[in-house]
Amino acid sequence: MSKKVLVFAEIKDGKLRNISFEALTVARKLSQGGEVSVSLFGSGASRFVTEVSQYGSKKIYVLEDEALSVYTTDAYAQALCQLIEEVQADVILMGHTAIGKDLAPRVAARLGVGLVSDCTGVDLENGTIVFTRPIYSGKAFQKKVFTKGKVFGTLRPNNFGIQENPLQAEIIQFQTAIKDVRTMVKEIVRKTTSGVDLSEAKVIISGGRGVKSKEGFKPLQELAEALGGAVGASRGACDAEYCDYCLQIGQTGKVVTPDLYIACGISGAIQHLAGMSNSKIIVAINKDPEAPIFQVADYGIVGDLFEIVPLLTEEFKKVLVS
């Protein structure tokens, strides 16, 4: 049975996030021949119309209300609820990002519908949409289906492929009625490091207490730059003030699923594994051959990270240049 699917495309730092394209790819499958629509929120959002039209949406709703220029839960929730009603969407998808985690529950509550969050898989089984999500810190997975009402899910970044499907989409300038916004953003102070976004990075070089100091992260940053990746950290490294908590990966930090995760000087506490154990390839570098991280690693190197990481950087640079 064909369905109307609406994708919330997230714009961050003047760019569309990759999870938006992943969600559109999933949406085409779930629509079963129905209509796929996508929303673009914020001032200047219309400049992304051409880019988003490459991924199979038949209708692109542009909402350029001044109240949407900076993300606030009140304004975005009102606008998205109005759009969902306008589209009469059967399925709503968005990324399980900082904004998605905040916005999706609010919208679901206002609409009185269920929500399945942090999904790592979405399939069709006999025409029924089945969501797969991790539980118990990634030790098990559960499948969820909706028995009635709208289907609403957030998707974990880097878990779904991206396939282009250019269409001549209908562009709709949607007018919203946003009122009684109780919050105002007066200033944004950024603590995140420059470079690749951790949650969408294909390669992550992560350091633990074994890096020993702030300076100990320098070899990791050089390796990350060589591979076009990002630098992460365990909570132990953050607690020791070797780096900022914005780099923390784990149960109380960011959950990541890169193609390659290199853990340097990380013992492998269960809290850290909860944030990275679903990475496609895990490489562990540790002086302790009994470190728990080796139990989940695809490849392990026993040795001093300060000797091994620079050698890896040098070799990768040779390979990538050639």
231 within 8 A of 244, measured Cβ to Cβ: no
- What is the SS3 string spanning 47-59? HHHHHHCCECCCE
How high is the pLDDT of residue 235? 96
Question: How many other β-carbons are positioned within 10 Å of the β-carbon of residue 232?
Answer: 32
Containing 224, the helix (H) or strand (E) segment is helix 218-227
Residue with tokens 């050639």, as numbered in its chain: 322
Residue 35 has pLDDT above 70, yes or no: yes
217 within 8 A of 105, measured Cβ to Cβ: no
Computed over every residue of the chain, the mean pLDDT equals: 93
CATH 3.40.50.1220 in the chain is located at 198-321
39 within 8 A of 6, measured Cβ to Cβ: yes
For residue range 51-67, list pLDDT tens digits in order. 999 999 999 999 998 88
Q: What percent of the chain has pLDDT over 90?
A: 83
Residue 25 has pLDDT above 90, yes or no: yes
Residue range 198-321, CATH number = 3.40.50.1220
- What is the SS3 string spanning 130-191? EEEEEECCCCEEEEECCCCCCEEEEECCCCCCCCCECCCCEEEECCCCCCCCCCCCCCCCCC
How high is the pLDDT of residue 195? 65
d(CA 15, CA 256): 20
Q: What percent of the chain has pLDDT over 70?
A: 98
User: What pLDDT band is residue 185 in, cutting at 50, 70 and 90?
Assistant: confident
User: What pLDDT band is residue 307 in, cutting at 50, 70 and 90?
Assistant: very high
Give the mean pLDDT of 124-138: 91
User: What pLDDT band is residue 209 in, cutting at 50, 70 and 90?
Assistant: very high
247 within 8 A of 217, measured Cβ to Cβ: no
How high is the pLDDT of residue 14? 87
Give the mean pLDDT of 72-100: 96
For residue range 211-265, list pLDDT tens digits in order. 999 999 999 999 999 999 999 999 999 999 999 999 999 988 999 999 999 999 9
Q: At what angle do helices 98-111 and 73-87 cross, to 10 degrees?
A: 60
Residue 281 has pLDDT above 90, yes or no: yes
User: What pLDDT band is residue 109 in, cutting at 50, 70 and 90?
Assistant: very high
CATH 3.40.50.620 in the chain is located at 5-173
CATH architecture for segment(s) 5-173:
3-Layer(aba) Sandwich (3.40)
Residue 194 has pLDDT above 70, yes or no: no
